[in-house]
Amino acid sequence: MRATRGASLGPRGRAALVSEPDPDLNGLLAEPRRMKILDWLQEEGSARVRDLSVAFGVSEATIRQDLEKLESDGHINRQHGGAFLRAMPRQVQTLSLQHMENIDKKRKIGVNAASLVGEGETIILDAGSTTTEIAHNLLGRSSLTVITNALNIALMLGAVPGYAVHMPGGQFKAPTLSLSGDKAADYFADVFAGKLFLATAGVALDSGLTYPSFADLELKQAMIRAASHVYLVADSTKINRSSFTRLGTLDVIHSFITDDGIRDEDVRAFESRGIKVIIAE
């Protein structure tokens, strides 16, 4: 049985959650737009021309030209009406993640975040390379309940004696080895966890938390509502960076775990918003 309790919005303005495209991304020049499209594909695995056309506010012909260029550069394979990430089949077979850059920073964050988890706690681990590093550092515990949408994390922790690992249902996303969609979000409606370790593509004072596509926004909102304390885990290269869609303002975060590459002025800015900054060294 899974531990449940009615989810609440919590004390810090959780109602501020939104999901919307960043309006500044409409009208991008060709090369920045292609990089955003590649980010989308690296998050979702595939995309349809018509969806990209609507999202970026350009014609389908323009999107097809973008996909032709990304294919010629070796990133994707086009198919009728869309495209998919070229490395995806092998990646799933080897259970490898798409975003493995800045791994040294992520490992430091993983050690620090795992040290905040006590024996017998119930936690939520979001999918991602940084949260995977947290999972690696939880292997020495004797008792833990972990709720995760990440297949690789569930496989890693599920065989540990004394661990209870739960997963939602939903649609499988190959690049992040995760489950997503409405069913995954609905699972968290009756879940209560002490701590959520939340991943992001970008975090900034003005745009808040941003992601490469729409697919996971509802799920992440549900995770946030289900947790008493939300830890954002992101390396310093993601600070003051915006991706395609916005999850919400920084008010949904209680603590931010990052590496020592964060600037002093950014630490002060986050703390002025009531967010505790934890620097992993």
- Going from N- to C-terminal start, the domains of the chain cover 14-19+97-280, 24-93
Q: Compute the distance between CA of residue 226 and CA of residue 211 in angstroms, rounded to an integer.
A: 20
pLDDT at 95: 61
CATH code for the part of the protein at 24-93: 1.10.10.10
Run means of pLDDT, 10 residues per run, the chain, 281 residues:
35 41 54 84 80 87 90 86 76 61 92 96 96 95 94 93 94 85 93 96 92 86 97 96 86 97 97 97 89
Maximum Cα interatomic distance, the chain, rounded to a whole number of Å: 56
Task: Give, in words, the CATH class of 14-19+97-280.
Answer: alpha beta
pLDDT at 224: 97
pLDDT at 21: 46
Instruction: List, for residues 143-176, the tens digit of each pLDDT value.
Output: 999 999 999 999 999 989 999 999 999 988 877 8
